[in-house]
């Protein structure tokens, strides 16, 4: 036979496009995949609202996981080896059969071409070849169609069938094992979800009911009510009372000056026995100020571990917010009381726009008070770990507390002696 002149693709030919594996990513550029089922899948996903790139990424990820199965290579090698073995047997039997037929054909041609035979040589060869080919074709058909095991394909077919059966049995067993694992994982996920939901509900119950932070909420209100009474202010526990807007944000509302006269300004306190995020903290405080018509908001948390991430206690934020800590297990109301007086002075000073107030003096005194307040808190915390020189540290704290109180008294006195402007 003549060699085929049809051009053949080189063995190292690559499909059009570029594929690069970068760490845990695959970058595909200008790659065209010709596959009817894949194309239909992407179209269907796109019609369903999914991005085409997402569908392709999912297909690659799932395909990679299938190809990466631990026994995939072993199964393919097993089937390939069985096919090659059976093909080798078939080739040997075919070659042996053809050799025997070729020998018989050569003997018959030699016997037919003696010197005394009549007829042309070409005619005799054609007759012999035609008859030999017909006989060979008939013999081959009988051989391959034999049902008694004589067919060379019998072992091949049996080997392939057995290999496929074993593969099917193994895949069925693995599918059953995977199904059980999926069911177990699903059960665990459901249990974890239920557990998480139960934990969340308990936290909410403790935040909103008598089992929870209600005790902490009442603790905070008691301290605020005590210090408010000393300054002729009125403190109201409003945790379960709806505002005029219908909301219930804010736990304690303090009306400055309302103990002996009209309300000069309102401050709202939010008590939390759990840690909020920074955004949630601002949302709670802004919402409480809006619902309670307050000029300032203070978040009181039950321990340093409850301070929102990224924020600090005793630091004024946005000119109208502050965070204070009142330890629930070992409550020390000093910091909360000083924060109360600082916030009270800040709000009253800001509302004294119609009075002739020493603005610079108020501002300086308030800033000094806030700085001293942070120093007091820092030293107060260090006392819990100090075993020596405790008396000296406490004297320093008492002195700084006195400084804070004097600064706040100066602010209060500046506001109290302020007089209306002439002609006002």
Whole-angstrom CA distances from 297 to 221, 252, 253, 340, 379 are: 14, 10, 9, 11, 25
CA 131 – CA 141 distance, rounded (Å): 15
Alpha carbon 168 to chain centroid, angstroms: 37
Query: For residue 262, what pLDDT is reported?
Result: 92
Please give the pLDDT value at position 152: 60
Q: What is the pLDDT of residue 263?
A: 93
In the block, residue with structure tokens 């991430």: 309
* Domain ranges within the chain, ordered by starting residue: 23-67, 77-208, 214-416
Please tell me the distance from the alpha carbon of residue 118 to that of residue 121, in angstroms, as a whole number.
9
- Kind of pairing, strands 321-325 and 234-237? unpaired
Token reading at 341: 């007086």
In angstroms, the Cα distances linking 39 to 322, 336, 422 are: 58, 66, 85
Residues 89, 81 contacting (CB under 8 angstroms): no
pLDDT value of residue 323: 93
The pLDDT assigned to 149 comes to 58
The gap from C-alpha 161 to its chain's centroid, in whole angstroms, comes to 47
First to last CA, the chain: 120
CA angle 88, 94, 100 (to 5 degrees): 140
Q: Across the 424 residues of the chain, what is the mean pLDDT of every consecutive 10-residue run?
A: 43 62 83 86 87 84 73 65 74 76 70 56 74 79 63 64 76 81 83 74 54 71 92 90 81 93 94 93 94 94 92 89 88 84 86 54 62 67 61 76 80 69 53
């Amino acid at each position: 036979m003549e060699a085929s002149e049809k051009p053949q693709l080189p063995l190292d030919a690559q499909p059009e496009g570029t594929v690069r594996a970068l760490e845990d990513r695959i970058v595909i550029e200008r790659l065209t995949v010709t596959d009817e089922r894949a194309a239909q899948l992407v179209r269907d996903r796109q019609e369903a609202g999914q991005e085409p790139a997402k569908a392709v990424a999912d297909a690659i990820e799932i395909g990679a996981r299938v190809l990466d199965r631990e026994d995939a290579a072993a199964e393919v090698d097993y089937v390939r080896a069985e096919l090659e073995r059976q093909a080798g047997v078939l080739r040997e039997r075919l070659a042996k059969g053809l050799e025997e037929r070729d020998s018989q054909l050569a003997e018959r041609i030699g016997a037919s071409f003696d010197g005394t035979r009549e007829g042309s040589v070409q005619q005799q060869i054609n007759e012999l070849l035609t008859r030999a080919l017909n006989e060979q074709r008939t013999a081959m058909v009988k051989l391959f169609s034999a049902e008694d095991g004589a067919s060379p394909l019998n072992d091949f077919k049996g080997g392939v069938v057995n290999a496929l059966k074993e593969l099917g049995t193994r895949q069925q067993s693995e599918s059953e094992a995977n199904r059980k694992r999926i069911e177990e994982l699903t059960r665990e996920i459901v249990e974890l979800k239920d557990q998480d939901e139960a934990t969340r509900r308990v936290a909410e119950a403790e935040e909103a009911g008598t089992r929870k932070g209600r005790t902490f909420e009442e603790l905070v209100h008691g301290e605020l009510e005590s210090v408010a009474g000393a300054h002729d202010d009125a403190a109201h526990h409003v945790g379960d009372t709806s505002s005029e807007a219908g909301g219930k944000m804010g736990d304690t509302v303090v009306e400055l000056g309302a103990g002996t006269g009209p309300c000069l300004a309102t401050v709202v306190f939010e008590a939390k026995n759990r840690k909020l995020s920074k955004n949630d903290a601002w949302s709670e405080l802004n919402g409480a100020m809006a619902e309670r018509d307050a000029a300032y908001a203070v978040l009181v948390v039950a321990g340093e571990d409850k301070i929102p991430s990224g924020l600090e206690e005793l630091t004024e934020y946005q000119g109208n917010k502050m965070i204070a800590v009142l330890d629930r297990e070992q409550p020390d109301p000093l910091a909360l009381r000083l924060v109360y007086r600082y916030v009270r002075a800040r709000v009253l000073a800001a509302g004294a726009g119609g009075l002739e107030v020493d603005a610079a003096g108020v501002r300086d005194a308030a800033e000094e008070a806030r700085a001293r307040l942070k120093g007091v808190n820092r030293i107060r915390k260090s006392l819990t770990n100090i075993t020596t020189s405790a008396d000296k540290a406490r004297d320093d704290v008492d002195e700084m507390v006195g400084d804070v109180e004097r600064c706040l008294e100066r602010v209060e006195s500046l506001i109290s002696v302020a007089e209306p402007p002439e002609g006002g």
